[in-house]
Amino acid sequence: MSPLTKIKNWYTAQTPTAKGLIWIGVILIIGIIIRWDYISDRVMSSFGILNFNNQ
């Protein structure tokens, strides 16, 4: 049994709610990958706010 067949069988056994959540997760992961530069820049700049030694 190939891995794709196992994934297909697992996916078809899920409830409609679980299938929707799986798709939302996939879309969010793709969005994070596409916008990674923007997200990482914002995270790094937010750590500058936490630096209390620069007063």
pLDDT tens by residue, 1-55: 899 999 999 999 999 999 999 999 999 999 999 999 998 888 888 877 766 665 5
Q: What are the distances in angstroms from CA 5 to CA 2, 15, 19, 22, 55?
A: 5, 18, 17, 17, 59
Check: pTM over 0.75? Answer yes or no. no
Distance CA 37, CA 33 (A): 9
CA distance 22 to 33: 17
